[in-house]
Structure 1
Amino acid sequence: MNALHGLRSTIRGQIWLPGEPDFDTARRPWNLAVEQPVEAVVEAADAGDVAALVRHARAAGLTITAQPNGHGATGRTAGTILLRTRRLDTLQVDPATRRARVGAGVPSGRVQAAAAPHGLTGLPGSSPVVSVAGVALGGGLSWFGRAHGWAADSVTAFDVVDADGRERHITADTEPDLFWALRGGGGSFAIVTALELALHPAPSLYGGRVLWRAEHAPAVLDAYRGITAIAPHTLTVWLDLLHFPGAAPMVAIDVTYLGDPNEARELLGPLDRLPSPLSDSRQPMSVAELGSITAEPTDPSAGSSHAELLTTLDDAAAKALLDEPVEPLLSVQLRHLDGALARPSNSPHGPLTEPYALYMFGLPTDPARAEAVTAKQRALADALPTSGRKPFTLLNPSESISDAFSPNVVARLRDIKRRHDPHHIFRANFPVEG
C-alpha cells in the first residue's frame, strides 16, 4: 500500500485509491457486466506521466493495465494499477501526406471529424467512441476493411513506453517484432501513448440502415447473400436480426459505399425489390457520421457477446440463422468480410479468409437471463459453419488469445512478451501469457 500511496509523489495526473470518492466509477469498464478489480486507478497527464508510472511500478513490483475508457475489459485486472490514457488526446491530420498522429485517448469519431473536411477517412468500426489505439491493438474490423484491410494495417508507427519506462518510437524498421505484435496482438508488450496512421481517400460516401419487420427476414437474407456474392471492395453490407426490449422483432441491412451514390443504389437494387421497409436512412453522408448507422450506445452498459467467423453462408447456414427467434438475444449480426481483409497482412491475424463474421449480443439483466443469452449464443454458433477462430477484436471475457490466433502466432507473441517485458509489468485485457 505504501507503494501505491507513493504514486501521488510520482504522477501529475489524477489518482484514485480504494475507499476514496469516485474510485468505483474510475475503475468501471465499458461493459458493466464485467467486474474490474484493481489496486488503484491512474489517469496520466501525458506520456511523461506514463513513463513515470512504469518506472515506479517496475521498482515497486507492481503491474499495469492500460485502458482509455474500458472497451474490451475482461476483468483480469486483480492486483493491477489501472491506467487511463484519455488525456493523451493529441490529434494532428496532415492532408498532404494523408497521415494522422493520434493520441492513445482519442476516439475514432474525432479522427473521422478531423479527416472528413479533407476528403479522407481512417478505418473506424461501428462505434465512434472506441479509441483508435484500442482498435489498432486489437487488429480492428472497420466499415472500410474490405477496401483497406485491418485497421492495424494502416498504422505506420507507435509511440510507446516500454517496460523500462523509456519513451520510444516504434516502426517496422526499428523494431519489426514489436511493431508486428502491436498491430493486432494486444497491449501485453508496451503502453501505446500515440500512433501514426495512414488515412485513405473518401471523397464520397453513401450509407445508412434499412429496417423491415422480421417476417421479411428470409427475403432480406436472400437479397443480402446475392449482394455480398458480387459486392466490390468499396461496398460493405451487414445484416442484423434484431429484437429490442418491448418491440417486435425486426431485420436490418446496414451499408456503406465508398463511391458515387448512384453506383451504390444500383449495387443495392435487390433491397428496393423487397417489401416496403419500416424505415430507410440510406443517403450520401460524411465519414464523420458513420456512428449514426447502427446508433450504438455511447455510454457504458452491460452486455454479453459472442463472435464467430463463418466459412460460408450457404442454404443450410441461412436456415440455421432463421430457424428460431433471436430472443433472448438483442441482435445477431452478420458482417461481410473478404476483400482486402483476405490479403496478406503483417500482423498477428494475417489474412482473414473467412467471408463473414457473426456477432451475437444480449443483455444479461439477471443471472437467469445471462445464462439464457449464453446458451442461445452457443447453440447458434454450433449450428453454423464456423472456422474455429475469432477476430481478436471481438473476443469476449471468457475467451483467450488462443481463440483468435494459431499456436505458432501465440508462441511468437509469448516470445516477444518475454523479451520486451520479462518482469510482466504490463497485463493486457487478453494477456499473451495465458
Structure 2
Amino acid sequence: MSSIQESLKSAVRGNVWLPGEPGFDNVRRPWNLAIEQPVAAVVEAADADDVAALVRHARAAGLGVTTQPNGHGATGGTDGTILLRTGRLDALHVDPVTRRAQVGAGVPSGRLQAATAEHGLTGLPGSSPVVSVTGVALGGGLSWFGRAHGWVADSVTAYEIVDATGERRRVTAETESDLFWALRGAGGDFAIVTQLELALHAAPSLYGGRTLWTAKHAPAALDAYRQITAHAPDELTVWFDLLHFPGADPMVAIDATYLGEETEARDLLAPIDRLPQPLADTRRVMSVAELGSITAEPTDPSAGLSRAELLTTLDDAAAETLLSEPIAPLLSVQLRHLEGAFAQPSDSPHGPLTEPHALYLFGIPTDPEAVIGKQRALAEALPTSGRKPFTFLNPDETVADAFSPDVVTRLREIKHANDPTNVFRSNFPVIS
C-alpha cells in the first residue's frame, strides 16, 4: 500500500477503502457485475467540500478520479483512479412555485419523483427509480416524458461542480456556455457534478402501466404499437418489449405512460384493448412516483450485456425482421418510441434525435459470445442510423458511436480547457 493511498485517509472526511482492506472488493464493484473495475482506492465523500479535497489530493498524487453514485454505465476503464462514490451528496429541495429542484449527485430518480409528486410536478424519470438523476442527466437521458419535454439534460438549468483544480463552481449557460453544453449529455469527463438544478414539469394526472401476452401474440402487439405510435401526441409514450426470462415461456409486452386523463389515454391506447386477453394488464391512474413499477427492473446489482441502436424506420420489413426468430439467448428486446420533443432543437452534444425509435437489446452473460452474436445479428438486420444514445453506450463503444466528428472535436477542446491533466476519467472519455 503506497503512502499516497494512506495519506488519502487524512485528506478527506468521508469513508476510504484501500486495496486489501475489508469491504474493498465490494465497494469498488459497479452496478453491472459483469464489469471488472480495478481502482487505487474508493472514497465515499461526506459532502461537496470533501469532493474538492479529494480532487486536490488526486491531482497532487498524479491519480485520476472516476465518479459513480453506484456504478450504472461503468465500463471498467478505471486503472490508476480513485473511485468516488457520491451517495452521501443526497440533498434534495423542490420549489413548487419556481418549478425548480436542487438535486444532489447521490439522489436517485425515484426519490426526486416522490418529492415532486406531492406538488403535481415531475422530473424526467427513466425506467429505473434507483439510477441517480445526475448520472442520467450527464448522459443526456431518455425519459418516459422525453417526447413531451426532450432530453433529461434539456431541463438542467445549472450545475454545481468541482473543477480539475479542486475548486467549487456554479456553471450555467450564461456563465460558461461551452462547459454547460458539454455537461448536457457527454458524461463526467469535464468536472465532478455535486448538484443539479432542474426545471420541473406539470403532471396533474398520469395514466400508465404494462400489458403482457404470450409470445404468440407478438405480431398483433407490434402492429398495435405501430398503430399507436403513428399518431401519438407528445404526452403519450409507448414501448414494445419482447421478453424471455429464464425458466419462463417467451412473452410480449406494451408499456405506456400518458400525461393526461384516463379517458383520453384509453382512447389513444384502444388498439391494445382489441388484442386477445392478456396475461396481465397493470394500466391505471398512477402517481409519477410509481413509474418504476411499470417495467419492474431489478433494483439490485446484476450482470448484463447490452447494445442499443437507433432505428430510421419501423416499416413492414423491419417489423418482420424483428419477429422472424426467437430472441433467445437475449432476455429482452425493447423498442422505445421517440419523436416528439426528442426531435426538436437541443443545446446539447446529441442535439435532436431524428430517429423515430430506439432499440435496446439485453442479455445475461452466461454465454457472452452467444448474447453478443445475437445482438449483432439483430442490429445488422434492422435499419439503424449508425449512431447511439450516449446514455446507452456499452463498454465496447466510444463517444464516436454517439456523437458526430465535429461534436467530438469540440468536446475534446472543452476537455483540454477544463481538465488538461486528465484528472477526471469518465466511463466514456472524450480523449482515448
CA distance in 1, matches of 2:62, 2:264: 59
CA distance in 1, matches of 2:60, 2:248: 55
Q: Give the counterpart of 1:422 among 420, 423, 427.
A: 420
TM-align CA RMSD: 0.4
Q: Aligned residue for 1:75?
A: 76
The alignment's TM-score, normalised by the length of structure 1, stands at 0.99
Q: Aligned residue for 1:357?
A: 358
> Deviation per CA, 1:300-325, whole angstroms, max 9, x where unpaired?
00000000000000001001100000
Moved segments of 4+, more than 6 Å: none
CA distance in 2, matches of 1:3, 1:19: 15
1:385-400 equivalent positions in 2, closer than 5 A:
385-400=383-398
Instruction: Tell me by how many angstroms 1:59 deviates.
Output: 1.2
Q: Aligned residue for 1:147?
A: 148
> Deviation per CA, 1:359-410, whole angstroms, max 9, x where unpaired?
0000002xxx111000000000000000000000000111000000000000
> Deviation per CA, 1:272-325, whole angstroms, max 9, x where unpaired?
111110000000000000000000000000000000000000001001100000
1:121-140 equivalent positions in 2, closer than 5 A:
121-140=122-141
Report the secondary structure of 2:388's partner residue: coil
Report the secondary structure of 1:118's partner residue: coil
Q: Aligned residue for 2:208?
A: 207
CA distance in 1, matches of 2:192, 2:59: 14
Instruction: Tell me by how many angstroms 1:2 deviates.
Output: 1.2
The alignment's TM-score, normalised by the length of structure 2, stands at 0.99
- Aligned AA for 1:221? L
Q: Aligned residue for 1:57?
A: 58
Instruction: Tell me by how many angstroms 1:146 deviates.
Output: 0.1
Q: Aligned residue for 1:225?
A: 226
Q: Aligned residue for 1:379?
A: 377
Residue 197 of structure 2 is aligned to residue 196 of structure 1: yes
Instruction: Tell me by how many angstroms 1:251 deviates.
Output: 0.3
Instruction: Tell me by how many angstroms 1:4 deviates.
Output: 1.3
Q: Aligned residue for 1:297?
A: 298
Q: Aligned residue for 2:328?
A: 327
Q: Aligned residue for 1:175?
A: 176
- Aligned AA for 1:371? E
- Aligned AA for 1:278? L
Report the secondary structure of 1:293's partner residue: helix
CA distance in 1, matches of 2:238, 2:95: 30
Percent identical residues: 76
- Aligned AA for 1:306? R
- Aligned AA for 1:420? N
Q: Structure 2, unaligned stretches of length 5 or more?
A: none
Instruction: Tell me by how many angstroms 1:413 deviates.
Output: 0.3
Q: Aligned residue for 1:407?
A: 405
CA distance in 2, matches of 1:242, 1:326: 8
- Aligned AA for 1:71? H
CA distance in 2, matches of 1:352, 1:228: 16
Q: Aligned residue for 2:93?
A: 92
- Aligned AA for 1:192? V
CA distance in 2, matches of 1:299, 1:400: 26
Q: Aligned residue for 1:311?
A: 312
Instruction: Tell me by how many angstroms 1:61 deviates.
Output: 1.0
Q: Aligned residue for 2:341?
A: 340
Q: Aligned residue for 2:67?
A: 66
CA distance in 2, matches of 1:339, 1:46: 38
Instruction: Tell me by how many angstroms 1:60 deviates.
Output: 1.3
Q: Structure 1, unaligned stretches of length 5 or more?
A: none
CA distance in 2, matches of 1:328, 1:90: 41
